[in-house]
Amino acid sequence: MMTDDVTIPIDVAPVEIAHERRAPDTAQREVVFDVRDLAVTYGSTTAISGVNLEIYRNLITAMIGPSGCGKSTFIRCLNRMNDLVPSAKIEGQVLYHGQNIYGDGVDPFAVRRRIGMVFQRPNPFPKSIYDNVAWGPRVLGMKRGLDERVEKALRRAALWEEVNDRLKRSALSLSGGQQQRLCIARAIAIEPEVLLLDEPASALDPIATSAIEDLMHDLKREYTIVIVTHNMQQAARVADLTAFFSLEVGEGRRSGVLVEYDSTDKIFTNPTDQRTEDYVTGRFG
C-alpha cells in the first residue's frame, strides 16, 4: 500500500512502544528451551500434561493461570527442581539448547548450575549478606576475584547501594524486598544463562515488587527469564511472551494444560482462545 514517495502526515502521533513491547520476532530468536509434550504426575494426580512450548533467549516469558493449573510445576521442570519431590514423575522432553535435560547421564546439578531459580518467599541463607552471594561461587570453584564477583552480582540485583556498608551483617536483617533481591544476586553470582522466577514478588509489598520488576527489565539483556506469576498485571508489565495455563477437568481427572502461548500484547488484548479471554478479562480465576 505504502510507497516510498508517500510523506507521512506530521500530525499523526508516533506509536509509543514502552520497554520494546512490540510483539517480539521469535523467528529471529535463539531457542533456549524447547518443551515437548511435557507431562508431570504426582502419584496418581496429573499436574500438567501435553505442554509444548519454546522459550527464547533474552526475553521474559511469563506463565499465568489460576491456582493449581501447574504453572509452578512447569517452571520447576525447567531446572529439575521437581526431582526433589519423590513422587513426581516427568514424561516428555525438555530440550535445553537441543539437549534433553531429562536424558540419560544428565547431571541435575549441572543443569541447575546453568539455570538459576528464585523462589516465591525470599530464602536467604542464615549467613552474612556477603556469604549469601559468595557461597555458591565458592562451592562451585569460582574463587578467583570473589569480592568483585559479589559486588557485581549485588550491583546487577540493584542492591549494592543499600548494603555495601554492611556486607558482614546477617542477611536476615534485610527487609523482604531486599532479601528477594539478595536471592536474585545469589542466583546470578554463579553466572547462569537462565533465571527462573517462581512468583518472585508475591510475598512483597508494591514498592519492593516494582523494584523487582524494574530489575527484570535490566536483567533480560543478559539472561533469559521465565517468570511464574498469579498477578496478570505483573505479566502484562514485564513479559514479552505470555503462556496461559488452565485447569482442564474431564472424565473425573484434572490436569493443567497450556491453553495459549503468544506475545503478551496478543494474550491480553486479542487472545485466540475463549478460556484465555475469560481469564484475562477477569471472568474467572
Partner 1 sequence: MSAASPQLSLRPTGRDRRRFLVNRIMESLGTAAALLAVGVLVVVVTSVALRAAPAISWDFFTKPPNLFGGPGGGISSAIVGSLLIVVMSTAMALPLGVLIAIYIAEFASPRVAAPIQLVLDVLNGLPTIVTGIFVYGILVVGHVQSAYAGAVALAIVMLPLVARAAQETLLLVPSALREASLALGVSRWRTVVGVILPTAFGGIMTGAVLAMARAAGETAPLLFTCSIFNPAVSTDVTKALPNIPVLIFTYSEQPDPVLHEQAWGAALVLMAFVLLASLSAKALLARSRRKLGR
Q: Which residues lie near partner 1 (CB under 8 A)?
A: 79, 81, 84, 86, 109-114, 116-117, 119, 121, 123-127, 135-136, 139-140, 172, 183, 186-187, 190
Q: Is 226 exposed, middle or buried (0-12, 13-18, 19+ CB in 10 A)?
A: buried
Nearer to partner 1, 92 or 124 (CB): 124
Q: Would you tell me how many other CB atoms lie within 10 Å of the CB of residue 165?
A: 8
Q: How far is the CB of 136 from partner 1 (least distance, A)?
A: 4
Least separation, in Å, of the C-beta of 180 and partner 1? 12
75 or 163: CB nearest partner 1: 75
**Nearest distance in Å: CB 231, partner 1:** 21
| Cell 512502544 found at | 17
CA-wise closest residue to 226 among 36, 21, 33, 69: 33
| Beta carbon nearer to partner 1, 64 or 187 | 187
Burial 251-262 (b: 16+ CB within 10 A, else e): eeeebbbbbbbb
C-beta of 197: minimal distance to partner 1 in Å?
Answer: 11
Nearer to partner 1, 47 or 171 (CB): 171
Q: Cβ 283 to partner 1, closest distance in Å?
A: 34
Q: Greatest CA span in the chain, whole angstroms?
A: 67
* Least spacing, CB of residue 147 vs partner 1, in Å: 19
Return the number of the residue (140 or 207) whose C-beta is nearest partner 1. 140
Closer residue to partner 1, CB minimum distance, 33 or 261: 33
Strand locations in 97-204, DSSP E? Answer: 99-100, 115-118, 194-198
What is the spatial distance between Cα 137 and Cα 141, in angstroms, rounded to a whole number? 6
Close Cβ partners of 4 (under 8 Å, ≥ 6 residues apart): none
